[in-house]
Chain A
Amino acid sequence: MSDKTMSDTTFIQEKSTLTAIERQYILLTQNGLPIIEQPYHYIAEEMEISVKEVLALTNDMLERGIIRRIAAVPNHYKLGYQYNGMTVWDIDDEQAEKFGDAVGRLPFVSHCYLRPRHLPQWNYNLFAMVHGKKPEEIAKYRGQIKELLKEALVKRNHDSGQQVLTQSNDMLTSTAILKKTGLRLKK
């Protein structure tokens, strides 16, 4: 078990360097693109470069993963996806990457991360967020993830009074948004 090495580490995000022109692109578009006939012309004018350069820069940033995609992000709730569940799983560290990758590929999973356990109060190391239109729907998704992970779930003694080893998982549903702000590149 690699718990010890994982549990106290604060994840240090590698500083990724951007060129001046990439920073300028992010600062200009991080609040969104105007929905007009020629949105890339708008960027070109603002940045005082050619449209050809904007298209090349955009493609380059897409290829390098700086831009994940240029997309419309729907409000889950307004589309009827009123329910979300943060499913959490106690899976074998040796197999965590393989199974985490498989869970991330499920179409109803929006985020999937490995995170450190904090035994004894928190034994879950795989987090997968699911979304649905009904409570039964997210319960079904949780069941599908469980089926996928059944080989990898850790058997643990959850009750010190008894010597029984059991697997565990949970689903934390959100009942209120207490705060929500966007992440922004600072000037």
Chain B
Amino acid sequence: MDNVTVEQKAKNTSTLSASKEKICHEIADLSTLDKSLINLLQHGLPVCERPFEQIANELGSTEAEVILHLNQLKSSRVLSRFGPMFDAVYLGGAFTLAALAVPEEDFDKVTEQVNAFEQIAHNYRRTHRFNMWFVIATEEADEIERVINAIEEKTGLSVLNTPKLKEFYVGLYLPV
């Protein structure tokens, strides 16, 4: 069980249909200021009247430069988001991570069937017998089970339901 490696990536990617978003993005060309901003702002924006002025002071730049660069990073989608990150609990609703073991020849068909449910928030293809992993997000807790049942009925496959039992604090930091 210790032998699944990323080498399988190439093999699996080649079987994808062109319509799916493949995982190969261009790596952004970043200036020194861009890199400093990304590193600093992953930790958080100060809560004060002129937060970008404070950031600029820390980086030896100007407020105008900082604002210009951040807006460029946002529009070139190097930053996928800028703003408050809310704990999903407070956004209401229920979530679960679930998986299917989809036969290779049915993968595109099952992808369409699963993605058609509006309650599917994310869906990833992964290297495993359970090769499709998706997040189900619903407004009410009991709707999760209904969606799972409907997916099973639609696909004829049995859903592996792995709702979170406990979440641990993480501090991901991607230095550039």
- A residues sitting closer than 8 Å to B (CB atoms) are 6, 9-16, 18, 22, 26, 29-33, 35-41, 51, 55, 58-59, 61-62, 65-83, 85-86, 96-97, 100-101, 103-105, 107-116, 118, 121-122, 127, 131, 135, 138-139, 158, 168-186
Contact = CB atoms under 8 A, between A and B. Distances in A.
Contacts, number: 312
Nearest to B40: A72
Interface in B113-165: 114-115, 120-128, 130, 132-134, 137, 139, 141, 144-145, 160-165
Interface in B159-176: 160-174, 176
A69 B81 CA distance: 12
Q: Which range holds the interface residue count of chain B?
A: 35 or more
B2 to A, nearest CB: 7
Give the dominant DSSP class at A's interface.
Answer: mixed
A128 B81 CA distance: 23
A72 B141 contact: no
B172 A100 contact: no
Nearest to B91: A185
Interface of B: 1-2, 4-9, 12-13, 16, 20-28, 37-38, 41-45, 47-53, 63, 67, 70-71, 73-74, 76-97, 111, 114-115, 120-128, 130, 132-134, 137, 139, 141, 144-145, 160-174, 176
Nearest to A88: B128
A135 B6 CA distance: 6
B44 A71 contact: yes
Given A30-B86, A170-B2, A180-B122, 7 more contacts: A15-B92, A22-B90, A40-B47, A70-B83, A78-B27, A103-B168, A172-B4
Contacts of A179: 115, 120-123, 134
A64 to B, nearest CB: 9
Contacts of B176: 74, 79-80
Nearest to B67: A35
Contacts of A77: 23-25, 27
B85 A67 contact: yes
A66 B90 contact: yes
A108 B132 CA distance: 24
A116 B162 contact: yes
B174 A79 contact: yes
Contacts of A114: 164-166, 168
Given A115-B165, A131-B174, A180-B122, A71 B85 contact: yes
Given A75-B78, A168-B2, A176-B20, A113 B165 contact: yes
B79 A169 contact: no
B76 to A, nearest CB: 8
Contact of B160 (A81, A122, A182): A122
